Amino acid sequence: MDIHIENCNSGNIGNKGRLARWGVNIETTCALCQQGTETIQHSFFECEMTGTIWQQLLHWQGIQRKKLKWQEELAWIQRAAKGRSGGATLCRMTLAAVVYYIWQERNNTIFKQKIRTSASIVRMIIQEIHIRATMFPRLERTITKENWHLDTMEQ
């Protein structure tokens, strides 16, 4: 599996960074956590918001450990996501969903001023994976084994 975000460690993402390079003075603070500078490195490796979401999704996958630093986490994912087992498929799908939802959330926050909680993003990701799992019988079996109750999550 290729994880391309590993290869773009630096550089601003999106329009804000580009405008800033042209001398247009626009904040490049991360829209998700309002703390770090918004770079690829920050959004996918350091951001509190991404970290919280990933931690909850690890637990959802039945992986009971604290999240690692992102570089270590990516190395772990590359091992865990190999193969055709239900668990490996779930891991790949979860990672893809996190990257997609974080990007979408970042855009929503900037352009629509809509802010969602990490819990509601986790809930959306899990719901989407449940829907997708119906197309992959092996994955569906893995997911039904997961001891996760959507209803108990706070909004």
Where do contacts with Zn ion occur on this chain (CB under 5 A)? Answer: 30, 32-33, 36, 47
**Which residue's entry shows tokens 């569906």?**
140
Whole-number Å distance between alpha carbons of 140 and 15: 39
Whether residue 27 contacts residue 113, with contact meaning beta carbons closer than 8 Å, is answered with no
Angle at Cα 143 formed by Cα 141 and Cα 149, nearest 5°?
135
How far apart are CB 48 and Zn ion at their closest, in Å? Answer: 6
Nearer to Zn ion, 45 or 89 (CB): 45
Cβ at position 32, least distance to Zn ion in Å: 4
Query: Residue 44 or 60: which CB sits closer to Zn ion?
Result: 44
Which CB, 80 or 121, lies closer to Zn ion? Answer: 121
For residue 151, the minimal CB distance to Zn ion (Å) is 29
- Closest distance between Zn ion and the C-beta of residue 39, in Å? 10
Q: Which is nearer to Zn ion, 15 or 85 (CB)?
A: 15
Nearest Cα residue to 49 out of 108, 122, 111, 107: 122
Around Cβ 152, how many Cβ atoms within 10 Å? 6
